[in-house]
Structure 1
């Protein structure tokens, strides 16, 4: 018995050393934009929004080249050549996503995507109550069951974090501690005072860093696992939970709408963006699910509802991008909006509070059903959603694979839990849009025909630029595959 245990321990150590050794990746400018005359002309002729993040505000994050992306088993009930093609390309798509993901919202989206694809029981979509707070499953898992990719990206996302005053800091002035990680999330119960700050540089965005909340909370819980401690090193579970509490403080102290407390997407002034519907509400709802907290589920519901009220153009049932200076109908913004709503729905339905929020969930379901119909009615001749819908300017109206993929992913998730609120025609359109996205993925796993996510020359699709790569489009394609796999159609 002793010999066997020693061998297993030695084997685990060797496995950790071989699998978890991180190679430092050198990263430069991943925007891949060719500043030629055509782009310069567009820069002059199109409205140029301020980029969400620029080189001076890039997160201090270097993609980890040691991540491994396994091939996945397809759903054999789906007899679609495009679905089969996407299944085969998925590891390449995710490897490419990893190589260009650096900003706060990209990291949040990427970690969530990795969980959906490889560790779905950590997500609301296939939630396992044993991962809920107090379930203890995170501490018990063996090497092959641990979501290493998610944990490594989450840990590395915090490489520039200021840990001064953290529970493990020798200068925090207190020796108090708690075995309950939940205590560190709230200033009123934390043994160590919070220091309000974002998890990662959001380059002026209040909402974007919040997209990392689920991943950091998972990192905190798994940091109690002895194999994770050995393999990842890093900070303590209490430190990560404390950092998450700091992020919540920072979020809740930001600008809000005076009437309904809808939180701003931006730090310096009150702005509502469709993007934030993916970043803020479902992250709060996820905490509500994990902590079995009706209060945090309610926060998530109220935030998504407030953003919907402000941004939904009810004449066409499509979301505006930004409530004031870009009120146009942006495909990716709509993807963010509907997928955030879907994550909210699943969190509430997987929680003990589903009946408490029946009215709110019914309203959200009806809204989503209407938005899906509005969006699929806008498909272009290639069956892609136009980058900006209902635009006379054809440069703005080019079909966008990124926004289309996320909308299709949300639709398939919606189809599974609300089949009575969709119809065969919408499902056929979703399949055509699915096929249209896959048709734009090259043999190396790059999703082409996607909007420039940085808005370098305006949020525009450059269909003939093979070097225009989007971390969002890569992640969204993987979400789309997983959602259809689970829907089984």
Structure 2
């Protein structure tokens, strides 16, 4: 496994790649996404945090390479990007085991797969990472426990489904389907999304429950962050499917994905606020408002307003705008968004104020989704002069 190296040893990366990683257009979202990125990089220490951070950095610095770009699959293929010159890939590579069965040693099934898209992209030029991505997919599809309906478990020790896994395993499998030119894998990925929803969503709620399975971690509450994980994971699968030419015939599957995303958002739109933020559990007024779920669900709204303005009209943008402005009020001068839910104990009643790596990443997702909505002329707030190059001093440092 690639050993973790201290942050200061990566300072030279910024200097060598600054012209490549800081040229994305910039809009004024009301908060500093680049300071948020620095906090995220400094604090991330778990497999899912590394994978989530890598995705956030790709959207922030190289949006044309993400599935939200205008042409993310040139000639129907995953793009070739230099891992040494692409900020997100250089960040992710240090954590990926190129020789293991899974991408990071972990007792979760889904969390290591959060680095899967990065492994696929690095594998375009370094075959060991292509093989590592293939082994990770084989583990998910053929080795990991399955729930009674065939849904891939999020845990290795029991068959247990978590909403979190929607953002970990399935964007990776969809992306790998493109890389391997495998429509059957794309269909399998869609079917897994359906199987996960069949268990985690119940008819009397629009939103998803957090954890269903036999262990003590079972959590039937409508965790805000969990619904964000599910919604954003579905959004990434949707965009991957839509933008790959070989998925052109999957019109029914695309419609279903949009419907499932809309359910999650509609449930969030019905939920109350505390200090301008969605509560940690959407159906429980006893919880405090927190930034993580609010930011990620709002990012979902912006993404879908661009993707399908008829299905996700102005009211979704207005809701996301209100949330974004509240999020901006909750960023401190040190770049930390607070309060967040404790990312390691979602039942903790104490507000988490020291910086949640995933909440920082979600704020970046909110920024990039809003930026792309403005640049698509769907959101009405004008962009600053475009493209604006962020100075090296303002860019996140590894």
**Counterpart of 2:334?**
444
Matched, 1:427 2:355: no
Contact 1:283-1:300 at 8 Å conserved across structures: no
Q: CA deviation at 1:383?
A: 3.0
The equivalent of 2:270 in structure 1 is: 377
Q: Which runs of 5+ in 2 are unaligned?
A: 15-20, 380-398
For residues 33 and 103 of structure 2, what CA distance do their matches in structure 1 show?
29
Structure-2 separation of matches of 1:481 and 1:84: 6
Contact 1:442 1:448 in 2 (8 A): yes
Task: Indicate yes or no: 2:103 matched with 1:199.
Answer: yes
How does 1:54-73 map onto structure 2 within 5 Å?
A: 61-62=4-5, 64-65=7-8, 66=11, 68=14, 70=22, 73=25
Q: Which residue number corresponds to residue 36 of structure 2?
A: 93
2:347 corresponds to which residue? 459
TM superposition score normalised by structure 2: 0.84
Partner of 2:231, secondary structure, is helix
Distance in 2 of aligned mates of 1:434 and 1:303: 31
Q: What residue in structure 2 maps to residue 479 of structure 1?
A: 365
Question: In the aligned structure 1, how far is the partner of 2:75 from the partner of 2:95?
Answer: 22
Give the superposition deviation at 1:434.
1.2
Q: Label 1:314 to 1:156 Cα distance change in 2 as closer, same or farther (>3 A).
A: same
Question: Map of 1:32-431 to 2, 5 A cutoff?
Answer: 61-62=4-5, 64-65=7-8, 66=11, 68=14, 70=22, 73-75=25-27, 83-86=28-31, 89-126=32-69, 127-130=71-74, 133=77, 137-138=80-81, 146-147=85-86, 149-158=87-96, 161=97, 163=99, 197-202=101-106, 204-221=107-124, 224=125, 237-252=126-141, 253-259=143-149, 261-324=150-213, 325-391=218-284, 394=286, 397-431=287-321
Question: Shift of the alpha carbon at 1:337?
Answer: 0.3
| 2:76–2:244 contact (8 Å) kept in structure 1 | no
Distance in 2 (CA, whole Å) between partners of 1:115 and 1:299 is: 26
Aligned twin of 2:391: none
Tell me the residue number matched to 1:48. Answer: none
Query: What CA deviation, in whole Å up to 9, does each residue of 1:83-111 have, x standing for no partner?
Result: 4432xx22211011100111111111111
Segments of 5+ residues of structure 1 without an aligned counterpart are 1-58, 76-82, 164-194, 225-236
Give CA-to-partner distance per residue, 1:266-322, whole Å, 9 cap, x none.
Answer: 001100000001111111111123333212211221111111111113323011001
Q: Give the C-alpha shift of residue 72 in structure 1.
A: 5.6
Taking the aligned partners of 2:6 and 2:305, their CA distance within structure 1 comes to 34
How far apart are the structure 2 equivalents of 1:71 and 1:441?
24
Q: How far apart are residue 414 of structure 1 and its match?
A: 0.7
CA positional deviation for 1:60: 5.9
**Alignment partners' CA distance in 1, 2:128 and 2:163:** 32
Q: Indicate conservation of the 8 Å contact 1:74/1:84, yes or no.
A: no
Q: Deviations over 1:37-71 (max 9, x none)?
A: xxxxxxxxxxxxxxxxxxxxxx9634534254748
Deviation at 1:138, TM superposition (A): 3.3
Cα 1:437–1:62, aligned 2, differ >3 Å: closer, same or farther?
Answer: farther
1:381 Cα deviation from its structure 2 partner = 4.2
Q: How far off is 1:408 after superposition?
A: 0.5
Provide the secondary structure at the position in 2 that maps to 1:198: coil
Offset of residue 350 of structure 1: 0.3
Q: Decide whether the 8 Å contact of 1:114 with 1:150 is kept in 2.
A: yes
* 8 Å Cα contact 1:282/1:340 also seen in 2: yes
| Alignment check: 8 A CA contact 1:61 1:102 kept | no
How far apart are the structure 1 equivalents of 2:39 and 2:108? 25
Secondary structure at the aligned position of 2:371 is classed as helix
- Length-normalised TM-score, structure 1: 0.69
1:206 and 1:265 in contact (8 A); partners too: yes
Check the 8 A contact 2:279/2:290 in 1, yes or no.
Answer: yes
Q: Does the residue aligned with 2:161 lie in a helix, a strand or coil?
A: coil
Q: Deviations 1:312-359 (Å, cap 9, x if unpaired)?
A: 133230110012421111010000000001001100110113332111
Q: Equivalents in 2 of 1:312, 1:340: separation in Å? A: 15
Q: Bigger relative contact order, structure 1 or 2, given CA contacts below 8 A and separation 6+? A: 2
How far apart are 1:461 and its partner, in Å?
Answer: 5.7
